[in-house]
Structure 1
Amino acid sequence: MFSLIFSDKETPLVARLRHIESIGSQQNEQLKTIWFQIQSHLNDITLKPIAWEDHITLIADQEKLITYNVASSTLFNTLKSAFNEREILSITDNQNFVPVILGNQTKHLNAILNETTVKAKDSAVFQIKNFIRAVKAKDLKTITGGTEGEYFPIELHINDNQVEPTIKSVMDIVSHNSWFDVNFSGSFFSNKELMGELKIVLLISLILLYFILASQFESFVLPLIILLEVPIDLAGAFLFLKLFGMSINLMSMIGLVVMSGIIVNDSILKIDTIIQLQRQGYPLLKALLVAGQRRLKPILMTSLTTILALVPLLFSSGLGAELQAPLAVALIGGMLLGTIVSLYFIPLCYYYFTKRI
């Protein structure tokens, strides 16, 4: 059996349907069934339709070939020459092949089969149409391949909170079919991996900051008071993300890491000023008040300049604006709450900590 194909001349989450064995038309029918089942279960999602391509398969009658002593290779070469008799060259453009044919008309398939003859081994001549049967069928217009073989991708543009239910629904549909299996890829998984890495980066940064502060203040407890600001500021950032209807994604996580590094500086300066005043002979309460007066304007100026510089990102439009907005919201929310924490909460914690010593 051999075939000649004529063409009548096309995230988020991607479900990759991979066929386990080659099963021809049954495979295509099963792919249609799976596609319609997924579309019916996910009513609020419109799937990209499957691109099909019509083709004609020429099937040789092996019994007739043996009866009339015609070799299969001779039949194949004759057909190949008949279909390409006027083709002088082929122009290649990436993966597109454009044949250059002499003349301004193309022959119909039936005309080619009627006009073409084939020689048997005993030099007898027969019409090639006596040994050929044409079967019309449909197949995929494009084939996508990867490390695990060829597969059919189904793109699902959904929100992050819909990913797990969607994966479960698709897996339930495909599990009832023994000819296909499914795996998933897309920006959801890559972002999840990057967010995990950013969490590790944030944790390592806080650990390193703790050891630096411990060596600077010569205390193992005092750095914990300063670092206590970080989870409080994170709560402010999460609150602002919630108010603006944004999710915790890669850009907002970067904003949280940057915010944690900026806002901790205010608490470090405040505590360091208090300690310096105590060494100069100021009592604890007087040192808190004087340090608050001296550091009020620098802390407010630092926070306000950062916040005001980020405000235009909330109202900007164009390329990249949707990516920058979560970063700006996370930074602004953390900085607003962090400023209040640096001015009042951290000195208060230091006051109660010092009184107990």
Structure 2
Amino acid sequence: NFGMVRMVLPDIKERERSQMEIANALSVAVRNQTAARAFVQQRSTFGGRRGGMPIQYILQAPNIEKLQEFIPPFMEKVNQSPYFQMADVNLKFTKPETRIVIDRDKAALLGVSTRDIGQTLQYALSGQRMGYFYMNGKQYQVLGEINRQQRNSPLDLKTIYLKNSSGEMIQMDNLVKLEETVAPPQLYRYNRFNSATITAGLAEGYSLGEGLEEMDRIAAEVLDDTFRTALEGESRNFRESSSSLLFAFGLAIILIFLVLAAQFESFKDPFVIMLTVPLALFGALLFMWLFDVTMNIYSQIGIIMLIGLVAKNGILIVEFSNQRQSAGMSKYEAVIGASVQRLRPILMTSVSTILGLLPLAMASGEGANGRIAMGIAVVGGMLISTLLTLFVVPAMYIYLSTDRKSKTRETIDVRHV
């Protein structure tokens, strides 16, 4: 009951729509088909070669009954959410099953043990080999199994007879009850728990991070405390890479701060320089919002690049201001003069960096979305931070930096005495 069709798109230069636009159009088209449930899956841009839904959310429960109880309301919430355009679960309770329930009290009263009932059913239905016999020089197996005509229906199980402890024949109908139910054709486990994987496609306009947050919200609303959740596939790669990039971002800020503190022999001056980082973040986020770029792994890498690129502007101003203070100028005179004299190198380096990254922000062709996200984040951060640095860094330098002029005067006074 499952099939897959792989579609190969022509070169991007030979078509007018992107892969995402084609996939969204196909999703809308197949959603209205009733002959079968169809899903459109795109190959992951990172994390492996296999295609699949971007959302792969795993529910872990202590037993299969919990999953059978909570999967329907969970899927109902997922299908109602505007974040997803399709959803499915791999654990389906579609296999018909007949369970034999033994009336233990009645069996004990009639002198029949549960072991006798189990062995009788095994000999009647399992086709187990009981032994061999030889006839005309050939060996044949002896299989324990009743005729097909006598076991075509579940009700035929009740017509089987077995002996009790007194040697009397007892019909199975007096000892058991039949319960018809359904069970999953296959059981799944994850981290030694019974599990079910919810796969979903993202609706247009929503990112993978927003989809995972929506899944977490639904899980907190529907599931009880006995459940655990996990991620698989592209979702797991995204969550792990996001946490790694956040750690790298923090580590880069700390490392640059410590290097600057050693260079300037002060903790105040590096703090003034590092004020360029939030300015760059503001510019990157502003341009990403204007050009409808999501916060993805490529834009995050671009933001990490910004830390080193924008810190140089603050270094040029602070370093030259310190030199002018040591020459006897006040803070105000030193930082204003440094800003004016360092304006040309700041603009030259910033403009050259922005022009060098413009092809990245205006990329086209295969994989252009990733390059565009990185380029827009870096260009926007450099542009805004360059403009604001010329005003914010001098203002904060006056209030926070070390007064190097007063220290020089104290040293002169002591030597004179």
TM-score by length of 2: 0.55
**Residue number in structure 2 paired with 1:58:** 100
Which of 352, 366, 369 is the matching residue for 1:301? 352
**Helix, strand or coil: the match of 1:245?**
coil
Shift of 1:275: 6.9
The answer to whether the 8 A contact 1:241-1:329 is kept is yes
Task: Measure the CA separation in 1 of the matches of 2:388 and 2:83.
Answer: 44
Deviations, residues 237-260 of structure 1 (Å, cap 9, x unaligned): 011121232343454333222211
1:48 maps to 2:99? no
Contiguous gaps of at least 5 residues in structure 1: 1-9, 89-101
**Residue number in structure 2 paired with 1:38:** 77
**Residue number in structure 1 paired with 2:275:** 228
**Residue number in structure 2 paired with 1:136:** 180
Q: What code does the residue aligned with 2:88 have?
A: K
Task: Measure the CA separation in 2 of the matches of 1:43 and 1:295.
Answer: 46
Task: Measure the CA separation in 1 of the matches of 2:361 and 2:163.
Answer: 83
Which of 75, 85, 96 is the matching residue for 2:117? 75
**Helix, strand or coil: the match of 2:282?**
helix
Task: Measure the CA separation in 2 of the matches of 1:12 and 1:223.
Answer: 42
5 Å-filtered alignment, 1:256-295, equals 256-269=303-316, 272=319, 291-293=342-344
Task: Measure the CA separation in 2 of the matches of 1:341 and 1:212.
Answer: 24
Shift of 1:330: 1.9
Deviations, residues 308-341 of structure 1 (Å, cap 9, x unaligned): 46336x53445xx656654443223213334445
Shift of 1:350: 9.2
5 Å-filtered alignment, 1:169-208, equals 171-173=220-222, 182-186=227-231, 198-199=245-246, 201-208=248-255
Shift of 1:137: 1.1
1:248 maps to 2:326? no
Task: Measure the CA separation in 1 of the matches of 2:326 and 2:73.
Answer: 76
Q: What code does the residue aligned with 1:310 have?
A: L
Change in 2 beyond 3 A, CA 1:219/1:17? closer
**Helix, strand or coil: the match of 1:315?**
coil
The answer to whether the 8 A contact 1:56-1:137 is kept is yes
Deviations, residues 193-224 of structure 1 (Å, cap 9, x unaligned): 86566556544533442343243244554434
Shift of 1:21: 9.5
TM-score by length of 1: 0.62
1:315 maps to 2:364? yes
Deviations, residues 55-100 of structure 1 (Å, cap 9, x unaligned): 1213345466446544432331232233331789xxxxxxxxxxxx
1:16 maps to 2:63? no
**Residue number in structure 2 paired with 1:91:** none
**Residue number in structure 1 paired with 2:43:** none
Task: Measure the CA separation in 2 of the matches of 1:229 and 1:74.
Answer: 82
The answer to whether the 8 A contact 1:232-1:338 is kept is yes
Task: Measure the CA separation in 2 of the matches of 1:228 and 1:36.
Answer: 46
Q: What code does the residue aligned with 1:315 have?
A: S
The answer to whether the 8 A contact 1:38-1:170 is kept is no
**Helix, strand or coil: the match of 1:135?**
strand
Q: What code does the residue aligned with 1:304 have?
A: L
Task: Measure the CA separation in 1 of the matches of 2:71 and 2:260.
Answer: 63
Contiguous gaps of at least 5 residues in structure 2: 1-38, 40-53, 131-142, 406-417
Identity of aligned residues (%): 20
Change in 2 beyond 3 A, CA 1:127/1:292? same
The answer to whether the 8 A contact 2:163-2:169 is kept is yes
Deviations, residues 281-307 of structure 1 (Å, cap 9, x unaligned): 9x96887666544565455334432x1
Shift of 1:261: 1.6
**Helix, strand or coil: the match of 1:329?**
helix
Task: Measure the CA separation in 2 of the matches of 1:87 and 1:250.
Answer: 60
Q: What code does the residue aligned with 1:51 have?
A: K
1:84 maps to 2:132? no
The answer to whether the 8 A contact 2:358-2:375 is kept is no
The answer to whether the 8 A contact 2:318-2:397 is kept is no
Task: Measure the CA separation in 2 of the matches of 1:207 and 1:151.
Answer: 41
Deviations, residues 130-156 of structure 1 (Å, cap 9, x unaligned): 655443211233444445843545456
Q: What code does the residue aligned with 2:182 have?
A: K
**Helix, strand or coil: the match of 2:88?**
coil
Q: RMSD over aligned Cα, in angstroms?
A: 5.1
The answer to whether the 8 A contact 2:310-2:385 is kept is yes
Shift of 1:236: 0.6
Identify the range of structure 1 (192-201 vs 242-251) with the bigger mean alpha-carbon deviation: 192-201
Identify the range of structure 1 (36-45 vs 216-225) with the bigger mean alpha-carbon deviation: 36-45
Task: Measure the CA separation in 2 of the matches of 1:219 and 1:258.
Answer: 25
Q: How many residues align?
A: 318
